[in-house]
Structure 1
Amino acid sequence: MQTLNSLQEDTAKLESLYGNRGNQQGQRLQSLEDKLSSQRDMIATQQRQIDHNARELLEAGNRTRTDWLLAEAEYLLRIANQRLLIEKDIGGALSALKSADEVLTESDDIGVYPVRQQLAREILALKGISSVDRTGLYLTLEAAIDGVHQLTDQALISEQAPGFVGSALSEDGSGPGGEPSVLFKAWEKFKSTLMQVVVVRRMDESVKPLLSPDQSAYARLNLQLMLEEAEMAVLRGNQPLYKRALAKANAAVEDWYDGSNPRVNALAKTLTELSSRNVAPDLPDISKSLDLLKERLAGRSGEGNGGDDS
């Protein structure tokens, strides 16, 4: 009987022991399940955060690309205004405006519609202006300068030419000191040579005295400086300076040189044709599109700041 009681006690102890272990294992299993559930929730939360961050990055990337494109368009519009106002380069300004419009099209920003609308007007206005061929004008003036240096000394026959000192000579060719001048000696030598040929001249025309080679070179230098002044005016788009320089050159050729000389005649025709050219046509105002784009950029900046605050 005592043995039976002892066995029952041992059995109760074993059941209690294994029961406690079972409870502990159950508790551990429940704890593991709770941790697993918590980790699942954490993973789900992290996934949602990742998705949210990905969307934010995508949106931020889109905004950055659009803003970059708008900044590029603004730069092109600045270039267009500079080329038109400072360089008077109509073709370059038109090309920059067209490039800016293409960039704005690529931006897909509906807010730039007013900018593109104004750009269309400005592009049309520039297309309506006759472009100035500054390179062609400059090269023509360079050719005219070469033509000036090809004029012979004999073509310069007017006492109105620069450096003429005929009036300072006495009737015998002597200068103020009574000694024959170098010019008089050269003139006498020239007359001696000239007497060996036959010259037919209308007697009712006034005879214009021929000048010395030094005076001829001085006259050519003066003409060269006038034409170089016209070249400068072409490059700067300065119409008053251009007209003034060519007017002086035309007057000099007419006053100083014999118009019957073929080279003089060709030079005079070239200068007359150049005088009719306009190197500074009236230019339209193309700054409005730039102002509108600046307003759009400022508006986008305000939108971005508002989004950050929220």
Structure 2
Amino acid sequence: MSEATSPKEQETLVQDTTATPASPPVAPAPVASRGNGLAVLALLVGAAGAAAGGWGLWQLQSVEERDRLHAEQLESIRGQAQTLDQGNQALNTRLQALPSADELESRRRQLAQLQGDQQLLNQRLETVLGASRQDWRLAEAEHLLRLASLRLSALQDINSATALVQASDEILRDQDDPAAFAAREQVARSLEALRATVDPDRTGLFLQLGALREQVAQLNAQAPTFDGEGGVLNELAASNGAEQQWWQRWLETLSQYFRLDFNADRNIRPMLAGQALTQVRLALSLALEQAQWAALHGQTQVYNQALQQARDVLDAHFDLDNPNSRALRTRIDELAERPIEVKAPDLSQTLNAVQAYIESKQSARAQFDDEAQAEQALDVEDARP
């Protein structure tokens, strides 16, 4: 009876037989155990075959996936190659459109000339703008000096004129030009002359005269009185030792309105009342108002005439024994002594010096512009082929 064994078992059996020839023979295994071994062996062989088939299938799928990826990469490379070919064609077209070496040299010269012209134009523009700004500032300095001279001649305003001249000097200083030395010297002289000039307080004087006008509106005439008023009646009543009778009281009241004095040694002014008093107050107020105007404008003659007119009205219509009238007259005399006009310095020489500096600066700039234009024309002639 033959047995189906695997090659491995046969080889093991041969090795055992060769190695131990003297070993006793092994008793044969039972038939049932050999059948189970064959079944297990068959299962192992089937499992190995299934595993080999699965591995082969997986390898086949991996190959197909790599082929698909290679195909996509190949397609992408073809597209990139087409794009590169198109770019090369466009580059060739552009290279063919490029100018020649002579044309490039001609364009380079034109570009260099254009850049030079542009730089010259920028310099010219900066010069013009700077010159215009300087001209404006110098014109402002001249205008400030004119305004200061006008303030001195019209209003005699020392403080305003000093501030204007100081501003003009600052403008000349900002020029930082040695040629402005003569003009600044005249400006400095004018400044020192203005600072040494006494500036009267015209505003304060105006307000003081206004306060006097308010006192005029409250000024009243004082009723004349007589020395020994009621002396006879009082003596009569004292001698009789009795009170005054009705006719005595009536006579005393009537004596307050009129009195006959045969021994008068001075003139007695009549009392002002009603419209007459209003007219006198108005005349005095107008005289003081005229003095106010003269004080503001520095008109000494008009100021003195107005205050003299106010004194005349006050002396003619009001009694100086009245405390209000006497105080007003004293105050008018004090204000009449106040100076309102000053001798302002002359700024004409300073203005002429600044004008001469401006003219010299403009002439120098015009000459420089002519030279620059001539040089530019020569450069253009030299740049032509």
**Partner Cα separation in structure 2 for residue 192 and residue 217 of structure 1:** 30
Letter in 2 for 1:119: V
Question: Where does residue 143 of structure 1 map in the other structure?
Answer: 211
* Bigger CA radius of gyration: 2
Letter in 1 for 2:111: I
Do the aligned partners of residues 109 and 64 (structure 1) sit closer, same or farther apart at CA in structure 2, a change above 3 Å counting?
A: farther
Question: Where does residue 323 of structure 2 map in the other structure?
Answer: 262
Question: Could you tell me the TM-score, scaled by structure 2's length?
Answer: 0.58
The answer as to whether partners of 2:223 and 2:271 remain within 8 angstroms in 1 is no
Taking the TM superposition and a 5 Å limit, the aligned residue runs for 1:87-166 are 87-154=155-222
1:256, distance to aligned residue in structure 2 (A):
3.1
Taking the TM superposition and a 5 Å limit, the aligned residue runs for 1:161-200 are 193=253, 195=255
Taking the TM superposition and a 5 Å limit, the aligned residue runs for 1:1-310 are 32-154=100-222, 193=253, 195=255, 206-213=266-273, 214-310=275-371
**Partner Cα separation in structure 2 for residue 156 and residue 59 of structure 1:** 87
Letter in 1 for 2:146: R
Per-residue displacement from partner, 1:106-136 (whole Å, max 9, x unpaired)?
Answer: 2223322211111111111111112122221
Per-residue displacement from partner, 1:77-105 (whole Å, max 9, x unpaired)?
Answer: 11101111112211111111111111111
**Partner Cα separation in structure 2 for residue 156 and residue 42 of structure 1:** 111
**Partner Cα separation in structure 1 for residue 224 and residue 118 of structure 2:** 91
Do the aligned partners of residues 194 and 103 (structure 1) sit closer, same or farther apart at CA in structure 2, a change above 3 Å counting?
A: farther
**Partner Cα separation in structure 2 for residue 142 and residue 192 of structure 1:** 42
Unmatched tracts of structure 1, length 5 or more: 1-27, 158-190, 198-202
**Partner Cα separation in structure 2 for residue 51 and residue 155 of structure 1:** 96
**Partner Cα separation in structure 2 for residue 231 and residue 248 of structure 1:** 13
1:227, distance to aligned residue in structure 2 (A):
1.0
Do the aligned partners of residues 235 and 30 (structure 1) sit closer, same or farther apart at CA in structure 2, a change above 3 Å counting?
A: closer
**Partner Cα separation in structure 2 for residue 78 and residue 156 of structure 1:** 60
Per-residue displacement from partner, 1:53-90 (whole Å, max 9, x unpaired)?
Answer: 22222222221221111011011111101111112211
1:255, distance to aligned residue in structure 2 (A):
4.0
The answer as to whether partners of 1:154 and 1:210 remain within 8 angstroms in 2 is no
Do the aligned partners of residues 196 and 242 (structure 1) sit closer, same or farther apart at CA in structure 2, a change above 3 Å counting?
A: closer
Do the aligned partners of residues 194 and 298 (structure 1) sit closer, same or farther apart at CA in structure 2, a change above 3 Å counting?
A: farther
Do the aligned partners of residues 143 and 31 (structure 1) sit closer, same or farther apart at CA in structure 2, a change above 3 Å counting?
A: closer
Do the aligned partners of residues 304 and 104 (structure 1) sit closer, same or farther apart at CA in structure 2, a change above 3 Å counting?
A: same
**Partner Cα separation in structure 2 for residue 152 and residue 88 of structure 1:** 38
The answer as to whether partners of 1:156 and 1:257 remain within 8 angstroms in 2 is no
1:263, distance to aligned residue in structure 2 (A):
1.4
Root mean square deviation, CA, Å: 2.9
Moved more, 52-61 or 134-143: 52-61
SS of the aligned residue for 2:222 comes to helix
Letter in 1 for 2:183: V
1:290, distance to aligned residue in structure 2 (A):
0.9
**Partner Cα separation in structure 2 for residue 33 and residue 261 of structure 1:** 116
Do the aligned partners of residues 222 and 42 (structure 1) sit closer, same or farther apart at CA in structure 2, a change above 3 Å counting?
A: same
Could you tell me the percent identity over the aligned residues? 32
The answer as to whether partners of 1:126 and 1:284 remain within 8 angstroms in 2 is yes
The answer as to whether partners of 1:155 and 1:264 remain within 8 angstroms in 2 is no
Letter in 2 for 1:137: L
**Partner Cα separation in structure 2 for residue 138 and residue 41 of structure 1:** 79
Give the length in aligned residue pairs: 247
Letter in 1 for 2:329: A
1:31, distance to aligned residue in structure 2 (A):
6.8
Question: Could you tell me the TM-score, scaled by structure 1's length?
Answer: 0.71
Moved more, 41-50 or 136-145: 41-50
